[in-house]
Amino acid sequence: MIKKAHLLFALLTLLPFPAFARDCAEKDLNVAMTSPLTNMPVLDQDGSGSCYGHSAATLINYELLANGGAPFTGIHPLYGAWVEKYVNSTIKSDGLDSGEAVDVISSLKKKGYCSEIEVEKRLKKLKVDCAKGTTDAQLLHILELIYDNYSSFSFNPYANAVESAKKARASKKDYHITDCQIESVAAELRLKDMINIPATALLSKLFEGCKHEDLKVGEPKEEHIGSDEHMLNNVDNALNRDKPAEISICSKMFTDPNFKLNGVLPSVNRGSLLNIPSGCGGHSVVITGRKNVGGTCKYLLRNSWGSLWKADTATECACILNTGKYLDVCPDASIVREYLGCWFKEDILGKNIFGTTSF
Amino acid sequence: MKKLITLMFLFSTSSVMANCKTSQTFNVEGIEHKLCYFKKGEAWVSPACMKKASCDALKIYEASTKKTVVVTEVEAEGGKNQSNIICQKLGGTVMMAKIPPRNSQQTFCQGKDKSLINANALD
């Protein structure tokens, strides 16, 4: 009996997509004027590898706004990524460039948060001289370079931190920041007596006086194991409850429609090295809609690459026109104020998802 | 001579603006820029770029279409916006714009001559 059940499970996982009857009832969280998404800007993570922080912020801010919160009082995505790396975890050695949305949510639930407006005000104070015009993403990356190279045992911690940060920038080939920006930020930090301290202390000093609110959202549910179908079902479950879903994907699918995970047994973590092919370009995005087009289910994918982003492989993208009108399929880029995402067929999406998170 | 130079300037400016059939204003790092729709790249560019390859931003765009700039897996880690990396690799500077009324973000690639193109156009 057990053997038969195993065999049936194995056969089911080998079946191609159309064999599954999908619930593809139309759901677009961008449509209703009362939707939290109408007050949530499309973000551009720029040169920071904080996609997971952006997705986490989208899920959290959606929840906060749905529960009556005011716009721009939610989570700053980069603050979320920083807290996850430097405050909640003491043993992680990876940089801001990798992480998971669920960890950001858990960290903020434990540590509380400083609102987006307050975070921006404080980051602005470090943008002086060469660092004027520095984006928040660049600034966080500069802080990361400086504090990753902090050592209290150094004879001259300031000079050591700056020189090490510059060397790290050169070796990482960080094109999106300059040595002059690093020097300006470091000089400002020294003026504020914040250079010779560990990263965790920087956070509490930089955000001193900022009211750290308790994050009152539910427990996020994440999954990394299961078939393509199972991953899409997780997305459906969230959408059916009028909530967006975070998905971890290979961003290569934006340029190559044939790209897919290796597809080893569903019992293996889809995000493991066994499953992730070379060139995947791991990324975290949010699904905000679903519709049935000629019997095929399509999902609306919201990215964090700016409000004029469109995927090469997507033929349909949703937008807000210059007139303020929302269209789920936009005909002409010249009349678009901002794109809200692009539609992807279920098979293309399903074979590239290696994790889901939702409330 | 002065009159001739003025006339030449006026003529060149008007021909540029004549090519700018559709425009939109973007607030790029606090400064308002009226940009023109560049149909070939489905992008927004500085008015000076409407004359073929006459600005650095458009030169960066043309170079990006040749796909000679490679963004490695390490460089793109964490889902970085790869268009911005391409911009910088081709000598441009990334500038952040905010789109009203929701303050959505959009990066632009600025050439050495200060001309702009929205970064997403580069791939």
Confidence of residue B10 (pLDDT cuts 50, 70, 90): very low
Answer with the residue of higher pLDDT: A173 or B34. Answer: B34
Of residues B8 and A89, more confidently modeled: A89
In a mutational test of the A interface, the residue from B81, B88, B122 whose CB has the highest number of chain A CBs within 10 Å is B81
pLDDT value at position A93? Answer: 47
Which amino acid does the sequence have at A117? I
Comparing A280 with A195, which gets the higher pLDDT? A280
Report the C-alpha gap between B78 and B103 in whole angstroms: 23
Residue among A96, A282, A309 whose CB faces B120 most closely: A309
ipTM value of the model?
0.85
pLDDT in tens, A94-119: 567 788 999 999 999 988 888 888 99
Residue in this structure with the two tokens 């982003």, named with its chain if needed: A309
Question: According to the model, what pLDDT value does residue A1 have?
Answer: 42
Instruction: Give how far A20 is from chain B: nearest CA, Å.
Output: 31
Q: Do A41 and B107 touch (CB under 8 A)?
A: no
pLDDT band at B3 (very low <50, low <70, confident <90, very high): low
Answer whether residue A332 shows pLDDT above 50: yes
Q: Which of A331, A310, A327, A309 is nearest to A319 (CA)?
A: A327
pLDDT at A148 > cutoff 90: no
pLDDT number for residue A100: 92
φ, ψ of residue A35 in degrees (nearest 5): -65, 140
**Average pLDDT of the residues in A256-263:** 94
Report the b/e string of A310-329 with b at 16+ CB within 10 A: bbebbebbbbbeeeeebebe
Give the residue from A85, A94, A98, A175 with the most B CB atoms within 10 Å of its CB, the best one to mutate: A175
Percentage of chain A lying above the pLDDT 70 cut:
90
The answer to whether B80 contacts A308, with C-beta atoms less than 8 Å apart, is no
Record: contact A47-B81, CB cut-off 8 A: yes
Band (pLDDT 50/70/90 cuts) for residue A64 is very high
Is the pLDDT at A5 greater than 60? The verdict is no
Task: Output the pLDDT for position A103.
Answer: 93
Judge residue B10's burial from the number of C-beta atoms within 10 Å of its C-beta, 0-12 exposed, 13-18 middle, 19 or more buried.
exposed
For residue B118, list chain A residues with Cβ-Cβ distance below 8 A.
Answer: 306, 308
The H or E element spanning position A102 is helix A101-111
- Residue A257 burial (CB count, 10 A): 16
Cα angle vertex A275, ends A273, A278, to 5°? 70
pLDDT of amino acid A4: 53
Q: Are strands B104-110 and A282-293 parallel, antiparallel or unpaired?
A: unpaired
Q: Touching check for B69 and chain A: CB below 8 Å?
A: no
How sure is the predictor about B14, in pLDDT bands with cuts at 50, 70 and 90?
Answer: very low
Confidence category of residue B53, pLDDT binned at 50, 70, 90 = low
- The pLDDT of residue A319 is 97
Instruction: Give chain B positions within 8 Å (CB) of A281.
Output: 73, 76, 79, 82
Q: Contact A133/B95, CB-based, under 8 Å?
A: yes
Look at residue A10 in the predicted model and tell me its pLDDT. Answer: 47
Q: Please write the tens of the pLDDT for every residue from A287-323.
A: 999 999 999 999 999 999 999 999 999 999 999 999 9
Listing DSSP states for A229-254 in one string gives HHHHHHHHHHHHTT--EEEEEEGGGG
Residue A214, both tokens: 């308790």
Nearest to A334 among B22, B106, B118 (CB): B22
Q: List strand residue ranges (DSSP E) for chain A, in order.
A: 27-28, 221-223, 245-250, 282-293, 296-302, 317-321, 326-327, 336-345, 353-358
Among A193-207, A237-251, B94-108, name the one with the lowest average pLDDT: A193-207
Residue A194 scores a pLDDT above 90: no
Contact A41 B104 (CB under 8 A): yes
What are residue B5's phi and psi, to 5 degrees? -65, -45
- Which residues of chain A lie closer than 8 angstroms to B96, CB-CB? 44, 46, 135
Asked if pLDDT for residue A140 goes beyond 90, the answer is no
Nearest Cβ partner for A98 among B39, B77, B96 = B77
pLDDT at residue A14 is higher than 70: no
Model confidence at A18: pLDDT above 60: no
Mean pLDDT score of chain B: 85
Mean pLDDT of chain A: 87
Banded model confidence at residue A269, pLDDT cuts 50, 70, 90? very high
CB contact under 8 A, A308 and B118: yes
| pLDDT at position A218 | 95
Probe site for chain B from A39, A46, A302, A336 (most B CB atoms < 10 A): A46
The CA angle B70-B74-B76, to the nearest 5 degrees, is 65
CB of A233 within 8 Å of a chain B CB? The answer is no
Confidence of residue B71 (pLDDT cuts 50, 70, 90): confident
> B68 and chain A: CB distance < 8 Å anywhere?
no
pLDDT for A210 beyond 90: no
